[in-house]
Amino acid sequence: MKTLKIDHIGIAVKDVEERLKLYRDLLGLKVDHVEELPERGLRVHFISIGESRFELLEEISEDSEIHSFLEKRGEGFHHIALRVENIEAFIEKAKQLGIKPLSDEPKPGAHGSKVVFLHPKTTGGLLIELVEGGEE
């Protein structure tokens, strides 16, 4: 088991084109990859900055993973993602430590990765995503 780096910072947005005025037009950053994850109700836009990325999360259906977040809190910081090796071992160790994964098995993520989120009530209020595989 190894934590490799901060993979990305997830930001929930209502209108990605409006938010790209900041990241692309003002800051001069480039959207590297756009992917739809229909099973999660999301369209994600990855923007590289150094060795990490911003991930703009846009809902494409009302049953998306971010729908209730946007309704309750509005746009903004959603999660921090850490790239790991052996995500299954991390899930098991988290359970042993009393840190609650939001699922018992990794789910499909962008770039063909495997992901699992850790419940913020067990991480000090932070939604943490663990990511294994896929493009870096």
Would you kindly state where each structural domain of the chain is located, as residue ranges? 2-132
- If you average pLDDT over residues 112-121, what whole number do you get? 95
Using CA of residue 39, residue 3, residue 13, residue 104, what is the dihedral sign? positive
Amino acid at 49: I
Q: How do residues 29-57 score in pLDDT, each as one tens digit?
A: 999 999 999 988 999 999 999 989 999 99
* Separation in Å, CA 113 to CA 70, 125, 131: 24, 25, 7
When pLDDT is cut at 50, 70 and 90, the band that residue 136 belongs to is low
Stated pTM of the model: 0.89
Q: What do you get for the CA distance between the two ends of the chain, in Å?
A: 18
- Is 60 exceeded by the pLDDT of residue 104? yes
Residue-level pLDDT at 41: 93
CATH number of 2-132: 3.10.180.10
Residue-level pLDDT at 81: 97
Strand partners, 11: 56, 77
Helix (H, G, I), strand (E, B) or coil at 25: helix
Helix (H) or strand (E) holding 96: helix 87-96
Q: How do residues 67-101 score in pLDDT, each as one tens digit?
A: 999 999 999 999 999 999 999 999 999 999 999 99
Spatial CA neighbour of 34 closest among 58, 10, 13, 7: 58
Share of the chain above pLDDT 90, in %: 88
* Separation in Å, CA 101 to CA 42, 54, 75, 115: 20, 23, 24, 10
Tokens of 106: 């990794």
